[in-house]
Amino acid sequence: MEVRRMEVAILSLFPRLSDLRRAQPVTAAVISLGRARPHLYHFYFSAILRRAASATRGNHVSCAVHLSYHLIYQLIYQRWRAGMIGENQAVPPSRRSREAMMNQSGTEVLEREAEAGETVGASSALDPFAMEAAESAEARRRYDPAKLRELVADIMVAWGYTRAEGYTVADVLGFADLHGIDSHGLQRFQLYASQMGNKIDPHGKAEILLDTPVSRIIDGHRRMGQLNGVDAMNACIEKARTTGIGIASVRRSCHYGAAGYYASMAAKQGLIGISMTNTEPIVLPLYARQIFLGTNPIAVAIPADPHPFFFDASTSVVAYGKVELYAKQGKELPGTWVVDPENRPLTDSADALARLLRYNNEAGIVPVGGNTEYTGGHKGYGFSMLVEFFTAIVSGGATTDRTAQGDPVNGICHAFMAIDPKIYGDPEAVKARFSEYLDEVRALPAVPGRKVLVHGDKEAAALSDREASGVPLYHKTVSELRAIADGLGVDWRGALD
């Protein structure tokens, strides 16, 4: 809120809408101040605002300038004292998009906002993702991934699974934890424990409903999503090896974790891997008052050097797990992640999560692009519809709005694809061209304080760090795992001390 008020204070120095372009460097300066210390803000601001005062040549303006200056300085200073501004602070995403829009036409944006009653720039957290990383590094203890794998297998065996099945589930979850996908690693285990024997059928056996040289449709019979997912992707890989392409869709399954695991299974074997899943309903189609879509992630992994290209993200502005993670940490939601039925952003993570979990349309996550057409919400909404087609429609399973209905529950649907790059010619040449291209993108000049990454770079960095130093788990996740193990008489000591 303070940033917003600072911006309003500065814009008030430039009273006509036509002055907005002149105001822009000043507002940009406010934001870049986060990279400096408060005493530098003092001199920096002083210079900018004195120049503004002399340019306008009026005593009353000069007075307003100095009052605004003191207000702004105090706000920044208080924020710094409260530890909310650090050396690595950057412009929050919503501010960046606002500025990008102002570059095109500041007047138009402000008029549109006024018309639509929108809050494009309201965000109280400065670069939430950087803050999350900074906090989590200190807050979490590291654990040995090999011991965690054994513990998961022990718990799975206690639930009635074979040890091999236990390792399969452990590997999918461990992949997420090792690659920095914290929302879909072991912190998901609590969900599986709560679904075991009701949504998840521990005795379920998958059934092949249709099989062609290039495709397979499977009824997952409410087996754990990881078991259905690994079997389905293995079938795709086998088909791709013989025909060049393999496609599978699974209906009546359960939560399968990070979509990227399955895409990576193919990439590890030199193939292009694709995976997607629908979920339980939690996302609002653009402008709808009723949640109807899932967070519906799409993952694509493509062989490249020094590591595969790895795109793995939900088609909603955030995954549900991230809202849960923020609530676990007691942090405010930044920007527009969750909205109420009036399309107003909710920022209290605990309140937003509680509303989402009541499943009665008190709140919904918005699609990628946000809650308006101006920000591109219709595009994320479209990606999500594609996921529904390839997962639920083709398999005859439940679309997201119906996944949680039925007794037994209808369940979730997934889709998998593997493509052998041989169908494009020499796979090594394709890989070399792509790797070169990715390096060109990485080498692009970046905005100050940032680096151009490509998809998969963060995960590769997390992997080398976590393989060497262990997996950082939130203490709440550790308590949950210990309680699950205790309830089953499984010894967690050694893995979770």
Ligand X SMILES: NC(=O)c1ccc[n+]([C@@H]2O[C@H](COP(=O)([O-])OP(=O)(O)OC[C@H]3O[C@@H](n4cnc5c(N)ncnc54)[C@H](O)[C@@H]3O)[C@@H](O)[C@H]2O)c1
Residues in contact with ligand X by the rule CB under 6 A: 181, 183-184, 255-260, 277, 279, 295, 297, 299, 310-314, 318-319, 321-322, 453-456, 458-459
The minimum distance between CB 135 and ligand X, in angstroms, equals 16
Greatest distance between any 2 Cα atoms in the chain? 82
Nearest C-alpha neighbor of 484 from the set 159, 142, 147: 159
Q: Please, which residue, 192 or 256, has the CB nearer to ligand X?
A: 256
Q: In angstroms, what CA-CA distances link 470 with 145, 146, 167, 181?
A: 6, 9, 18, 14
SS3 label, residue 309: strand
Q: Please, which residue, 27 or 249, has the CB nearer to ligand X?
A: 249
The minimum distance between CB 311 and ligand X, in angstroms, equals 4
CA atoms within 13 A on the CB side of 70: 5
CA distance 391 to 386: 9
CA of residue 407 relative to chain centroid, distance: 31
Q: Please, which residue, 257 or 370, has the CB nearer to ligand X?
A: 257
Q: Which amino acid is at 331?
A: K
The minimum distance between CB 130 and ligand X, in angstroms, equals 11
The minimum distance between CB 148 and ligand X, in angstroms, equals 18
Q: Please, which residue, 98 or 307, has the CB nearer to ligand X?
A: 307
Q: Please, which residue, 453 or 463, has the CB nearer to ligand X?
A: 453
Q: Please, which residue, 27 or 123, has the CB nearer to ligand X?
A: 123
In 114-161, where do the E strands start and end? 141-143
Q: In angstroms, what CA-CA distances link 305 with 269, 291, 438, 439, 453?
A: 14, 41, 9, 9, 14
The minimum distance between CB 454 and ligand X, in angstroms, equals 6
Q: Please, which residue, 106 or 185, has the CB nearer to ligand X?
A: 185
The minimum distance between CB 337 and ligand X, in angstroms, equals 11
Q: Is the dihedral of CA 370, 376, 379, 381 positive or negative?
A: positive
The minimum distance between CB 366 and ligand X, in angstroms, equals 13
At which residue do the structure tokens 């007075």 appear?
Answer: 63
